[in-house]
Amino acid sequence: MRLIYMGTPEFAVEPLRALVAAGHDIAGVVTRTDKPAGRGRTVAAPPVKRAAQELGLAVFQPKRVRDPEFIEILRTLGPEAIIVAAYGQILPKEILTLPKFGCINIHASLLPAYRGAAPINWAIIRGEQETGNTIMLMDEGMDTGAILTQERIPIGAEDTAGALTEKLATLGAKLIVSALPLLSSGTITPVSQDGSKATMAPLLKKGDGLIDWGRSAREIHNRVRGLSPWPGAFSELDGKIVKIITTGVLDGTGEPGLLYEKDKNTLVAGTGSGLLNILSIQPEGKKPMTAGEFMRGHREIVGKKFTNS
């Protein structure tokens, strides 16, 4: 099938590679513009652009996907379908209706659950035990189109958003490759979503990482996992920002945000319910370190308190 592929982050790389390996004709790859990244703010290409260049594919990076000039380029390329995986811009009707088989989205949730930009993160933050991928026909709504196929996978107890993204990228690659022949042959039946069961997964903001120590240890632990690697969970200690990198949950009680020493390598914080075992931590301006390393460098840390601002 002649395809246009639209995607930007790491999640979208493996499906692109799988479509090429399956023999599809990729007429072009559309991704977001290069942007500053990292501490040095060096301009970097999106992961999908780098993968497309390695594969020898034509790359397009329009600032606005709805610009008439770009839509005309798509029309000239003549795709039978447009595959979308975390592209990052809303497609106008002119693009949605352009290909014969429509625009097909690889969405990292079991729709109608977790419609929106950050389904992987919010599924972990909200303590879900499973998630999956949905292959769907796109319409003008936010992830509201008819479902072609879905597959479930469990969310591991210690999965971070980064780890789960890798699993779902692999699953998404498998599902899109298997769905396209069924779509082209007319042997797959789109199923409308039940909008009454929809939940949302809004775009993450850096402020979502601020820890509320009045929540339970389990809720905080899920937030730490769900926001790793970005934007990361953080709090304030002695007037400086501290990132909480990895955690565990322990039985017990303690004042929310107050730090306790279980032993010389085990630092815990009180929460609204249970204790948060801080396994690794990153003080402002420092590299990540284990709790034991942090305690050895901060001899009087026990008895101090994280704050919410």
What confidence score (pLDDT) does residue 41 get?
Answer: 76
Q: Are residues 30 and 167 in the same domain?
A: yes
pLDDT of 120 over the 70 cut: yes
The DSSP output letter for 287 is -
Q: What is the pLDDT of residues 5-20, one digit of tens each?
A: 999 999 999 999 999 9
Structural domain of residue 99, as residue ranges?
2-197
Structurally, how many domains does the chain consist of?
A: 2
- Is residue 251 in some structural domain? yes
Q: Are residues 249 and 159 in the same domain?
A: no
Q: What is the pLDDT of residues 271-293, one digit of tens each?
A: 999 999 999 999 999 999 999 99
Mode of pairing for the β-strands spanning 240-250 and 233-237? antiparallel
Q: Are residues 172 and 264 in the same domain?
A: no
pTM assigned to the model: 0.96
Is 247 within 8 Å of 216 (Cβ atoms)? no
Q: Cα–Cα distances in Å, from 304 out to 30, 66, 211, 236, 240?
A: 50, 53, 16, 11, 13
Picking from 197, 218, 233, the residue at the C-terminal end of a domain is 197
Question: What is the Cα–Cα distance from 67 to 89, expressed in whole angstroms?
Answer: 12
Q: Are residues 65 and 90 in the same domain?
A: yes
What confidence score (pLDDT) does residue 40 get?
Answer: 72
- Is residue 303 in some structural domain? no
Is 87 within 8 Å of 61 (Cβ atoms)? no
Q: What is the pLDDT of residues 255-274, one digit of tens each?
A: 999 999 988 889 999 999 99
Q: What is the pLDDT of residues 142-172, one digit of tens each?
A: 999 999 999 999 999 999 999 999 999 999 9
How many other C-beta atoms can be found within 10 angstroms of the C-beta atom of residue 246? Answer: 19
Which CATH number does the domain housing residue 219 bear? 3.10.25.10
DSSP 148-189: EEEEEEEPPTT--HHHHHHHHHHHHHHHHHHHHHHHHHT---
How many other C-beta atoms can be found within 10 angstroms of the C-beta atom of residue 54? Answer: 10
